[in-house]
Amino acid sequence: MEYLAPAFSLLATPATLIAVLIGTVVGIVVGALPGLGTVVALTVCLPFTFSMGQAPSIALLLAVYCSSVYGGSISAILINTPGTPQSAATCLDGYPMAVRGEADLALGWATAASVFGGLFSLVVLVLAAPQLAAVALQFGPIETFALLVFSLTCIAWVSRESVVKGLLAGTIGLFLAAVGPDPMSGDIRFDFGIFQLSAGLQLIPVLVGLFALAEVFVRAAEPAPEGEAVVARVGFRLPPLRAWRPYLKTLLRSSGIGSFIGVLPGTGAAVAAFISYAEAKRSSPRGAAFGTGEPEGVIASEAANNAVTGGALVPTLALGIPGDAATAVMMGTLLLQGITPGVRLFVDNPDLVYAAFLSLL
Amino acid sequence: MFFAGMIGAQAFTRILRIPTPLLMAAVVVLALVGSYAVRGNPFDLLVTCAAGVIGYFMRLNGFPTAPVVIGMVLGYPLERSLRQGLVLTDLNFFAFFESPLALLLFALTALLLLWPWLSARWRRRGAAP
């Protein structure tokens, strides 16, 4: 905790604060657009970080990461189309609320639950990541290898389609990583006589192509939707403090579920939101009203999908193993900035780590 | 985030009215700028486009793209740790199973891989007692 003060001073510069503000707005906007998810939001922001210092660029990306998850819920509530897959569970109760004319209240609940979930997972991150890093300091190459094999299997396992396809996709990634110089001997592999390949493939171009461009191609191949979505102009209404009491248990439990699922490699916010929604529906006395515009459903999914962000950063920062595609982008940026996530990060740059944590606020 | 949501909710709802073609064009431009700016190498633009086409066909055939990225990120440390480990154990891979922590992780991996098969077996046994 002695690093909190220097971390705070790193953060309190105008550049960093502006970065957080811009990141938040961009994240919400891109997240709210249907089809453009967290990963696209992050890749779009990437070029802007090159000219920034370490602290502002981390702050920018973290802000985008967290707020894009929240942005998805805006379109989920207003037009029944989740802006990001994570917000799919929010549609179930958010849209019925909007139909009833309570869209402003639904947005208020979603915002409040998102902030709560995000803060909760931040506490988990601050407490858990250094512990994990301390354990990982004792890892030799053999343990590291076992851990990496495990994480790779995890990500293939939770991919929505089939496990075999997930494993195959992971293998393609491993092959792409093998292009370039051999890490031990320096021999050039798989360059196919192309000079530019001899240095290896860069992560960012591949990533941007796979996510952002592929998304555009998929959209271009579909016929354009007829007519425009009807979007009502709505305000924003915070629920009165009194109304919070019955939902406190759901808030806490959903944040817990989200943080825990976020820490597991390969799982994502979409899974967390649905598990938390199902759990809240099962245990809540208002469970029967779920799906008809019950605020508790919005709270359950929003608190969980925002709590995932903090959780997913635990293995990324502490072990250098990203839990999902979004944290992989973050890690790519950290590497560009000359920061190597992993065990050493907590030893070498503790103030930077805590600055990153604080900027999540 | 909280304040942005409070003030901006009204403005954000307007963004949903931007026509999709404009939006997609903007994404393409930003994506290409982003991948070029990493190290200012035009070759990276080709890589991006190739990855986009590959990603499109993967999505078309139901392949998830996230494992590719994770595989690529983890590929280098995976190889390095394997090679270093092999040097430590004089090229004896079976010595990897002597570390209790590594053994636990390998066991979890095996469980994960065999899970579909195991759960199907248990279900069959439960159905026909």
Is A108 a domain residue? Answer: yes
CB neighbour class for B41 (10 Å; exposed up to 12, middle 13-18, buried from 19): middle
Cβ(A212)–Cβ(A37) below 8 Å? no
Report, as an integer, the average pLDDT of A102-109.
77
Nearest to A70 among B1, B34, B59 (CB): B1
Q: Check A234 against B9: CB less than 8 A apart.
A: yes
Nearest to B34 among A44, A154, A210 (CB): A44
Confidence (pLDDT) at A226: 47
Confidence (pLDDT) at A151: 76
Is A321 a domain residue? Answer: yes
Is B23 a domain residue? Answer: yes
Q: What is the domain count for chain B?
A: 3
CA distance A143 to A127: 23
Confidence (pLDDT) at A227: 44
Q: Check A79 against B16: CB less than 8 A apart.
A: yes
| Percent of chain A as helix, strand, coil, to the nearest 5 | 75, 0, 25
Confidence (pLDDT) at A241: 60
| For testing contact with chain B, the best of A206, A218, A237 (most B CBs within 10 A) | A206
Per-residue pLDDT reduced to its tens digit, B7-65: 555 566 666 666 667 777 777 887 787 777 767 788 888 888 888 899 888 888 888 77
Measured between CA atoms, how close is B127 to chain A, in angstroms?
24
Report, as an integer, the average pLDDT of A128-153.
76
DSSP chain B: -HHHHHHHHHHHHHHTTS-HHHHHHHHHHHHHHHHHHTTT-THHHHHHHHHHHHHHHHHHTT--SHHHHHHHHHHHHHHHHHHHHHHHTTT-GGGGGGSHHHHHHHHHHHHHHHHHHHHHHHHHHHH--
> What mean pLDDT is reported for chain A?
74
Per-residue pLDDT reduced to its tens digit, A343-361: 666 655 556 666 655 555 5
Q: Is the overall model pTM greater than 0.90, yes or no? A: no
**For residues B100, B105, B110 and B115, what is the CA-based torsion angle, rounded to 10 degrees?**
130
CA distance B83 to A122: 36
Report, as an integer, the average pLDDT of A217-246.
61
Where residue B126 falls (left for φ over 0; alpha for ψ -120 to 50; beta otherwise) is alpha
Percent of chain A with pLDDT over 70: 76
Confidence (pLDDT) at A22: 81
Q: Check B2 against A32: CB less than 8 A apart.
A: no
Confidence (pLDDT) at A240: 61
pLDDT at residue A236 is higher than 80:
no
Is A174 a domain residue? Answer: no
Q: Check B70 against A63: CB less than 8 A apart.
A: no
Higher pLDDT, A295 or A239: A295
Q: What is the domain count for chain A?
A: 1
Is A213 a domain residue? Answer: no
Query: How many CB pairs below 8 A link A and B?
Result: 341
Q: Check A213 against B54: CB less than 8 A apart.
A: no
Is A128 a domain residue? Answer: yes
Per-residue pLDDT reduced to its tens digit, A251-271: 788 888 888 777 776 666 677
Cβ(A360)–Cβ(A123) below 8 Å? no
Report, as an integer, the average pLDDT of A160-166.
71
pLDDT at residue B76 is higher than 50:
yes
A47 lies in which domain range? 4-138+231-359
Is B3 a domain residue? Answer: no
Is A264 a domain residue? Answer: yes
Query: Based on the domain organization, do B82 and B35 belong to the same domain?
Result: no
Is B1 a domain residue? Answer: no
Measured between CA atoms, how close is B108 to chain A, in angstroms?
7
Confidence (pLDDT) at A19: 77
CB neighbour class for A219 (10 Å; exposed up to 12, middle 13-18, buried from 19): middle
Q: H or E element: which one contains A311? A: helix A295-319
pLDDT at residue B72 is higher than 70:
yes
CA distances in angstroms from A131 to A79, A128, A141, A228, A346, listed in the order given: 43, 5, 20, 51, 10
Measured between CA atoms, how close is B123 to chain A, in angstroms?
19
B109 lies in which domain range? 99-129
Query: Based on the domain organization, do B128 and B85 belong to the same domain?
Result: no
Q: Check A213 against B105: CB less than 8 A apart.
A: no
CA distance A261 to A323: 10
Residues of A with Cβ-Cβ distance to B78 under 8 angstroms = 145, 148-149, 152, 174, 177
A323, closest residue in chain B (CA to CA): B70
Query: Based on the domain organization, do B30 and B49 belong to the same domain?
Result: yes
Residues of B with Cβ-Cβ distance to A331 under 8 angstroms = 73
CA distance A346 to B94: 32
Q: Check B64 against A165: CB less than 8 A apart.
A: yes
Query: Based on the domain organization, do B49 and B80 belong to the same domain?
Result: no
Cβ(A327)–Cβ(A316) below 8 Å? yes
Cβ(A92)–Cβ(A47) below 8 Å? no
Q: Check B83 against A111: CB less than 8 A apart.
A: no
Is B109 a domain residue? Answer: yes
Query: Based on the domain organization, do B112 and B128 belong to the same domain?
Result: yes
Q: Check A232 against B65: CB less than 8 A apart.
A: no
* Interchain CB contact of B91 with A (< 8 Å): no
Report, as an integer, the average pLDDT of A245-253.
76
CA distance A100 to A120: 31
* Interchain CB contact of B128 with A (< 8 Å): no
Where residue B62 falls (left for φ over 0; alpha for ψ -120 to 50; beta otherwise) is left
B93, closest residue in chain A (CA to CA): A142
Eight-state DSSP code of residue A179: S
Q: Check B38 against A177: CB less than 8 A apart.
A: no
Confidence (pLDDT) at A203: 76
Per-residue pLDDT reduced to its tens digit, A283-341: 777 766 776 777 788 888 888 888 888 788 777 777 777 767 778 777 777 777 777 76
* Range name among A49-63, A94-108, A214-228 with the lowest pLDDT average: A214-228
Dihedral over Cα of A318, A124, A275, A71: its sign: negative
CA distance A150 to A136: 15
ipTM, two decimals: 0.74
CB neighbour class for A4 (10 Å; exposed up to 12, middle 13-18, buried from 19): middle
B80, closest residue in chain A (CA to CA): A183
Is B17 a domain residue? Answer: yes
Measured between CA atoms, how close is B22 to chain A, in angstroms?
11
CB neighbour class for A225 (10 Å; exposed up to 12, middle 13-18, buried from 19): exposed
Q: Check A169 against B67: CB less than 8 A apart.
A: yes
* Interchain CB contact of B114 with A (< 8 Å): no
Query: Based on the domain organization, do B14 and B26 belong to the same domain?
Result: yes
Which residue blocks in A33-162 are alpha helix, DSSP H?
38-49, 54-79, 88-99, 103-136, 141-158
> On the CB side of A177, how many CA atoms lie within 13 Å of its CA?
21
Per-residue pLDDT reduced to its tens digit, A7-47: 566 666 677 777 777 887 788 878 777 767 777 788 777 77
* Range name among A112-116, A150-154, B43-47, B75-79 with the lowest pLDDT average: A150-154
Is B2 a domain residue? Answer: no
Model confidence band, residue B129 (pLDDT cutoffs 50, 70, 90): very low
Chain centroid to CA A224: how far?
A: 29
Is A212 a domain residue? Answer: no
Residues of A with Cβ-Cβ distance to B58 under 8 angstroms = 169, 210, 214
Confidence (pLDDT) at A1: 45
* Interchain CB contact of B31 with A (< 8 Å): yes
Higher pLDDT, A183 or A308: A308
